Amino acid sequence: MSMEDVAREAGVGKATVFRRFGDRAGLTQALIVDYMGAFQDAFLFGPPPLGPGAAAADRLEAFLVELVRVHLAHLDLAVAHDVTPGAASAPVYATLLLHAAILLREVAPDADERVLAGYLISAVAPGVLLRMREQFDARPGDLEDAARRLVRGLR
């Protein structure tokens, strides 16, 4: 979709879109912040096991599975943002890493939670999910199950 298409769909002029978002990367980031913000609210304030009130291991599993679902629901947009050269990550991605690290500190206190959180988040990155779908014909349930197994240690 071009910026002109976006402007037409929004009922505004193309210049308005450019003034508001700067460029395609800015627009993409704003859209990602919107849907990832809803996910952030769910893991920070929602019901367990994703939200507070469940054991850290259960929350971490629910978090990674839901992250897979969120990425899959917005895969085209998420992949477009992932491959935008020089694009800064949406601030909410830093929150994802921090949240995973906090949970990992409880689940695996002897591990470097920052590095392990980076591995977990990277394992379900939009580009990885796209490759799993295209190369291995992985269905959403397959990807969710793989995320569960990753957290559980392949059991």
- pTM of the full structure: 0.82
* Mean predicted lDDT score pLDDT of the chain: 86
pLDDT tens column, 43-62: 999 999 999 999 999 999 99
Residues 133, 117: Cα–Cα separation, whole Å: 23
At 23, the pLDDT band (50, 70, 90 cuts) reads confident
Task: Examine the pLDDT at 94 and tell me if it is beyond 70.
Answer: yes
Integer angstrom CA distances of residue 22 from 26, 27, 36, 50, 127: 6, 7, 20, 35, 25
More confident residue, 85 or 102: 102
Tokens 């769910």, residue located: 42
pLDDT at 63: 98
pLDDT band of residue 85 (cuts 50, 70, 90) is very low
Q: Which amino acid is at 102?
A: I
Rounded CA separation 138/132 (Å) = 6
pLDDT band at residue 32 under the 50/70/90 scheme: confident
Q: Which residues contact 39 (CB under 8 A, 6 or more apart)?
A: 66, 67, 70, 92
Chain-centroid distance of CA 67 in Å reads 5
Q: At which residue do the structure tokens 């690290």 appear?
A: 101
